[in-house]
Amino acid sequence: MTVKSTTRARKKAAPGVPDSLRTGKDAPAELIQLLTPEGERVEHPDYPLTVTPEELRSLYRDLVLVRRFDAEATALQRQGELGLWASLLGQEAAQVGSGRAMREKDYAFPTYREHGVAWCRGVDPLNLLGMFRGVNHGGWDPNEKNFHLYTIVIGSQTLHATGYAMGITKDSAEDAVIAYFGDGASSQGDVNEAFTFASVYNAPVVFFCQNNQWAISEPTTNQTRIPLYRRASGFGFPGVRVDGNDVLACLAVTRWALDHARSGSGPVLVEAFTYRMGAHTTSDDPTRYRAAEETEAWKAKDPISRLKAHLEREGLADEAFFAALEAESEALGLRVREGVRSMPDPDPTLIFDHVYAEPHALVAEERAEYVAYAESFEGGE
């Protein structure tokens, strides 16, 4: 099912493709799950995972703090402190699980909603918020964090990721790349072109699709007639569907996929089956196009609640742990609020500074027109 590499040699043997990925196109969709919504740990023969109590508590901490940061950002936008915000509410497990599966030298290419992955890669939340406030053009060094700047153009980052992965093969490195996109982006030509190039050139890239059921107001049923992960077989590489609300399953499956890619076996498509609990962005009203009953049903599958239930069921965390985490969450919220409110208002003329690398006559003319227009309001009412 994988494409044999003719362009790269690896010292390590390629990990085997699990039997669950060798099924035909008409087979029922299998949802890889290691932690049930009730917090019960289950095993999967193809994706074994050993985690210590400390690692479980650390994953829970990630989920809680990422959600708190996201909630503060939404509130700040509603208060007029941010221009826009794309919430990840409900998708924390997909992002934290896949983010923690990466090695230090692996490289991630996000969309505009991967706040949990940014957290895992060490990006300060205030750098993310600075971009949405308009005071910076990204706020972090992508090559320092191995985490690319956010990409607003739908699906284009999959091509960037594939090109970077092709470069890895030419450097004979043993790293891997992960490209994030949503179910709506799967309909974009860029994504399908990235699949083609990655397959033909056997690029070490994992395509991580967060299927949150809605491409703004369009349901997944308007994007595909088959489960998204099965599209991979048409391009000649494996696809797998994982419970996107199960942080342990996302960790195990993404770890396998990255190992598969970096070993020379080519790309993998991971479909994290999850749900966008909030609006597409703060400019959206999801009550206009989806039923409240649907959202209520997904609340029972909440990624944080199920891991907390597991910790409590197994006696792996006590009240002191949860209380300390709550205090840390409050401190993060305070730092985010104060940090954003202390940011300077952006200079409107900055939009003209980086259109081209060199001075451009038309841009200079447009800048002058804008400055004259803005100055016409000074001193007036």
What is the rounded distance in angstroms from the CA atom of residue 3 to the CA atom of residue 133?
44
pLDDT at 20 exceeding the cut of 90: no
Q: How far apart are CA 262 and CA 169, in angstroms?
A: 9
Q: For residues 225 and 143, what is the distance between their CA atoms, to the nearest angstrom?
A: 38
Distinct helix (H) and strand (E) counts, the chain: 13, 8
Q: Record the tokens describing residue 304, joined without a space.
A: 């944080």
Least confident segment among 172-176, 193-197, 377-381? 377-381
Segment 263-287, tens digit of pLDDT? 999 999 999 999 999 999 999 999 9
Q: What is the mean pLDDT of residues 210-237?
A: 94
Residue 142 in contact with residue 211, Cβ under 8 Å?
A: no
Res. 381 pLDDT band, cuts 50 70 90: very low
- Helix, coil or strand: residue 125: helix
Which phi and psi angles does 163 have, rounded to 5°?
A: -65, -40
Among residues 86, 115, 120, 76, the alpha carbon closest in space to that of 214 is found at 86
Whether residue 7 is predicted with pLDDT greater than 80 in this model: the reply is no
Predicted confidence band of residue 213 (pLDDT cuts 50, 70, 90): very high
Sign of the alpha-carbon torsion through 246, 252, 255, 259: negative
Contacts of 120 (CB under 8 A, 6+ apart): 62, 95, 96, 99, 100, 102
Report pLDDT for 16. Answer: 62
What is the pLDDT, as a whole number, of residue 26? 45
Looking at the predicted structure, is the pLDDT value of residue 369 above 80? yes
User: What is the model's pLDDT at position 170?
Assistant: 94
Look at residue 320 and tell me whether its pLDDT is greater than 80. Answer: yes
Residue 351's pLDDT is 85
Q: How far apart are CA 188 and CA 33, in angstroms?
A: 28
Q: What is the pLDDT of residues 150-190, one digit of tens each?
A: 999 999 999 999 999 999 999 998 999 999 999 999 999 99
250 pLDDT more than 80: yes
Q: What does the pLDDT average to over 101-125?
A: 97
Average pLDDT over residues 219-240: 95
Strand order in the sheet with 268-273: 31-32, 239-243, 268-273, 205-211, 177-182, 107-109
Any alpha helices (H) in the chain, and if so which ranges?
53-78, 92-101, 115-120, 125-133, 142-145, 156-170, 189-200, 231-235, 247-260, 292-299, 303-313, 319-341, 361-375
Read off the pLDDT of each residue in 311-323 and give the average, rounded to a whole number: 97
Q: Is 230 helix (H, G, I), strand (E, B) or coil?
A: helix
Q: Is 94 exposed, middle or buried (0-12, 13-18, 19+ CB in 10 A)?
A: buried
- Cβ–Cβ under 8 Å, residues 65 and 282: no
Provide the pLDDT for residue 28. Answer: 56
Mean pLDDT of the chain: 91
Q: Is the pLDDT reported for residue 1 higher than 50?
A: no
Quick one: 330 exposed, middle or buried, by C-beta within 10 A (0-12, 13-18, 19+)?
exposed
Model pLDDT, residue 17: 60
- What confidence category does residue 22 fall into, taking pLDDT thresholds of 50, 70 and 90? very low
**Res 259 pLDDT > 50:** yes
**For 211-239, what is the mean pLDDT?**
94
Which whole number is the average pLDDT over 377-381? 60
Q: Is the pLDDT of residue 24 over 60?
A: no
Task: Tell me the pLDDT tens digit for each residue of 121-152.
Answer: 999 999 999 999 988 878 899 999 999 999 99
pLDDT of residue 378 exceeding 90: no
The residue with greater pLDDT, 115 or 28, is 115
Give me the residues paired with residue 374 across strands.
none
